[in-house]
Amino acid sequence: MFETWRKSTHSGVQSNCVEVGSSVELGVVGIRDTKNRGGGAIVVGRGAFDTFVDAVRSGQLG
């Protein structure tokens, strides 16, 4: 479903990491725990994910 997964650049070497994968074809983004890759993923629409990221970057979310 997801072409590639990438680890958050804010994770560094910490153990509390998330990975983000995207499916251009389906227009969705997956979010999963790096330590439990087989545990499933939260899947959201690309627009919702972009809105979330913008809110975090602008300081609206901690």
Instruction: Note the pLDDT of residue 15.
Output: 67
Q: Which amino acid is at 55?
A: A
The per-residue pLDDT for range 2-20, each reduced to its tens digit, is 878 998 776 666 667 889 9
Instruction: Report helix, strand or coil for 47.
Output: helix
Instruction: Note the pLDDT of residue 45.
Output: 97
What H or E segment, with its residue span, contains residue 7? strand 4-7
CB distance 44 to 28 below 8 Å: yes
The share of the chain scoring above pLDDT 90, in percent, equals 52
Question: Using the 8-state DSSP alphabet, how is residue 40 labeled?
Answer: -
The per-type count for the chain, helices as H runs and strands as E runs, is 1, 4
Q: Would you place residue 26 in the very low, low, confident or very high pLDDT band (cuts 50, 70, 90)?
A: very high
